[in-house]
Amino acid sequence: MTESGDRTVSSKPLDPFTLMLDFRSGALEPHTSRTERHVSDMQGAYADATAQEHLVKGGDPLVYEVLQYDIPEEVGQLICCTTVLHPGTVGDEYFMTKGHYHSVRDTGEVYLGLRGHGYLLLMTEEGGKAATPMGPGTVAYVPPNWAHRTVNTSEEPFVFFAVYPGQAGHDYGTIEKTGFPQRVLRTPEGAELR
């Protein structure tokens, strides 16, 4: 057991390692977890509940998947993962992630866009909001205390790599109650932020 800052770290140190990331598919090898989110996993997230129900009954499409290489969820560690957010809409609203605050609020995150285009929506509990366009090569910084959600506005998978602190954890419950202040909708003129 060692002390790191003011927090206790109990795992034995990791040896250096490498992972292989396929920029096009988002495949991360090796990975130790793969999380799938279908339309049915996102009740209440989309504005058009009727359109959502139709999609669920019509086959419940896959909205996104997250591949992660799990390491101890402890201060000092950095967790690496990729998200593959598929193209599609629920009604007029583009496919998006559930969105979350980190449970430990004072932890940030870095996203690197690899393929496709979309938005990173951000908000704070104090009423702050932001929307950052993302595409291949975009490095987006999520500061501590900012909830974050991604939206795919393209016709191909929106793929990005993320690195976040081991102790961060994920708070989805707050977003399920409050939602985000901005939505991204498909219009004849293209993606519109409302």
Residue ranges in contact with ligand S6P by CB under 6 A:
37, 66, 81, 83, 97-100, 109, 148, 150, 162, 164, 170
Closest CA to 83 of 144, 7, 31: 31
- Least distance from C-beta 126 to Zn ion, angstroms? 18
Site string for Zn ion, 66-105 (x = CB under 5 A): ----------------------------------------
- Which structure tokens are listed for 149? 């959600």
**Count of residues that interact with Zn ion, criterion CB under 5 A:** 1
Nearer to ligand S6P, 34 or 194 (CB): 34
Residue 99 or 113 having the CB closest to ligand S6P: 99
Burial code (b: 16+ CB inside 10 Å, e: under 16) for 146-177 equals bbbbbbbbeeebbbbbbebbbbbeeeeeebee
CB 112 to ligand S6P: min, Å:
12
User: Does residue number 109 form part of the binding site for Zn ion (CB under 5 A)?
Assistant: yes
Measured between alpha carbons, how far is 103 from 168 in angstroms, rounded to an integer?
6
User: Which amino acid is located at 152 in the chain?
Assistant: N
Partner from ligand S6P, Zn ion, none contacting 99, C-beta within 5 to 8 A by type:
ligand S6P
**CA dihedral of residues 160, 165, 166, 170 (deg, nearest 10):** -70
38/170 with CB nearer ligand S6P? 170
Q: Please choose which of ligand S6P, Zn ion, none residue 97 contacts, taking the beta carbon within 5 to 8 angstroms, the exact cut-off set by kind.
A: ligand S6P
If the CB atoms of residues 50 and 60 are measured against ligand S6P, the closer one turns out to be 60
Q: Give the list of residues 6+ apart from residue 38 with CB closer than 8 angstroms, or none.
A: 56, 60, 61, 62, 63
Mode of pairing for the β-strands spanning 78-85 and 62-69: antiparallel
